[in-house]
């Protein structure tokens, strides 16, 4: 598709680290530009996980139609490839109805899978996967990560021993295709729209304080009770969805591995670490136009500046 056609089919993409205010700013922008919001958050799609994922409330979501929020059960796995494929179908539908697709989220791989596209790789092979998980149990994650470093050093460089599911998936893809996950991700598909990327940027210390304050609000709003409900309904910490920061620590508290104060401390620390990884990911994307904010009172002005940038955007 030629560039002039893509320019008439623009998608606004708002990114940034956790607690940076993406939801608040998106709710200001969406109704003014006739947009529908596609959530690019790998956890907000799960039902019953509201407090710990900082979802927009039901009332807030009435401001604009939302996609990929409260759509699947926590015991269902998701991946960036599936998200990207379905998300592009949704974008086409939104554009067809004369509205603006508005992608909002901090999951960098999901954003990339949607607006850039990459080869999704083969479906799960139960035998290969079972063998890899057996090896994981016997040999340990570090051993499998060492093996991944030999066949896919790029993917391995973004993982630690705690990323067990991702390590297994990368080795599974290589075992089934003989091609590394990194190489498959480079096999882009044709994208029929042009993305205009904007981001919210805070002073690091202010962002970290916002994260600490948000965790305190989550605890006050009932995060522990939310996780208790999930446990009572059969959802275990072994599920990928519940290995999320906030949920994993509360399950550890329930299992008497840590006390209440340590639980809160770890949620704050691990969320700050996650924000740092998000910033590293997004800073590598030169397409993002960053908007600096120092206080929530600046959100209305920031939203208007982003709108102006979107409508005036001209590809270099």
More confident residue, 82 or 209: 209
More confident residue, 309 or 126: 309
Residues forming CATH 3.40.50.300 domain(s) in the chain: 3-118+188-312
Residue 316: its pLDDT value, please? Answer: 45
Q: How far apart are CA 216 and CA 289, in angstroms?
A: 31
Residue 6 has pLDDT above 70, yes or no: no
Tell me the backbone φ, ψ of residue 245, rounded to 5 degrees.
Answer: -55, 135
Q: Which of 12, 158, 157, 188 is nearest to 84 (CA)?
A: 188
Alpha carbon of 290 to those of 15, 119, 200, 203: distances in Å? 9, 29, 6, 12
Topology classification of domain 3-118+188-312 = Rossmann fold (3.40.50)
Q: How far apart are CA 187 and CA 180, in angstroms?
A: 11
Mean pLDDT of the chain: 92
More confident residue, 262 or 108: 262
Residue 3 has pLDDT above 60, yes or no: no
Residue 314: its pLDDT value, please? Answer: 72
Look up the pTM and report it. 0.82
Q: DSSP readout, the chain?
A: --HHHHHTSEEEEEE--TTSSHHHHHHHHGGGTTEEEEE--TTTTBTT--TTTTPPPHHHHTTS-EESSS-B-TTS---HHHHHHHHHHHHHHHHHTT-EEEEE-S-HHHHHHHHT-----PPP-HHHHHHHHHHHHHH-HHHHHHHHHHH-HHHHTT--TT-HHHHHHHHHHHHHHSS-HHHHHTS-----SEEEEEEEE--HHHHHHHHHHHHHHHHHHTHHHHHHHHHHTT--TTSGGGGSTTHHHHHHHHTTSS-HHHHHHHHHHHHHHHHHHHHHHHHT-TT-EEEE-SSGGGHHHHHHHHHHHHHH----
Residue 226: its pLDDT value, please? Answer: 98
Residues forming CATH 1.10.20.140 domain(s) in the chain: 126-185
β partners of residue 290: 199
The percentage of residues in the chain with a pLDDT greater than 70, rounded to a whole number, is: 95
Q: Is 115 in contact with 195 (CB distance < 8 Å)? A: yes
Which listed CATH number (2.40.160.20, 1.10.20.140, 3.40.1130.10, 2.170.130.10) goes with 126-185?
1.10.20.140
pLDDT digits (tens, 9 = 90+) for 172-187: 888 877 878 888 877 7
Residue 121: its pLDDT value, please? Answer: 66
Residue 80: its pLDDT value, please? Answer: 79
Residue 103 has pLDDT above 70, yes or no: yes
Residue 202: its pLDDT value, please? Answer: 98
């Amino acid at each position: 598709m030629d560039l002039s056609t893509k320019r008439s089919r623009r998608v606004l993409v708002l990114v940034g680290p956790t607690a940076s205010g993406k939801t608040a700013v998106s709710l200001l922008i969406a109704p003014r530009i006739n947009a529908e919001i596609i959530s690019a958050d790998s956890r907000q799609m799960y039902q019953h996980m509201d407090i710990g994922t900082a979802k927009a409330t039901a009332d807030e979501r009435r401001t604009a139609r939302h996609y990929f929020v409260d759509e699947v059960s926590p015991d269902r796995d998701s991946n960036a490839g599936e998200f990207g494929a379905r998300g592009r179908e949704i974008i086409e539908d939104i554009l067809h109805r004369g509205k603006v697709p508005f992608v909002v989220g901090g999951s960098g791989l999901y954003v990339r899978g949607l607006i850039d596209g990459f080869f999704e790789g083969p479906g799960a092979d139960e035998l290969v996967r079972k063998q890899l998980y057996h090896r994981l149990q016997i040999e340990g994650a570090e051993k499998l990560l060492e093996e991944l470093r030999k066949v896919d050093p790029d993917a391995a460089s973004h993982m630690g021993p705690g990323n067990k599911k991702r390590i297994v998936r990368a080795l599974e893809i290589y075992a089934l295709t003989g091609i590394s996950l990194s190489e498959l991700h480079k096999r882009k598909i044709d994208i029929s729209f042009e993305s205009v990327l904007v981001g919210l940027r805070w002073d690091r210390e202010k962002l970290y304080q916002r994260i600490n304050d948000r965790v305190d609000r989550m605890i006050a709003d009932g995060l522990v009770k939310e996780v208790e409900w999930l446990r009572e309904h059969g959802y275990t910490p072994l599920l990928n969805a519940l290995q999320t920061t906030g949920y994993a620590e509360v399950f550890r508290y329930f299992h008497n591995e840590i006390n209440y104060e340590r639980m809160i401390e770890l949620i704050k620390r691990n969320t700050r670490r996650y924000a740092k990884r998000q910033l590293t990911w997004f800073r590598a994307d030169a397409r993002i136009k960053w908007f600096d904010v120092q206080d929530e009172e600046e959100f209305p002005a920031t939203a208007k500046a982003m709108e102006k940038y979107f409508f005036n955007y001209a590809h270099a």
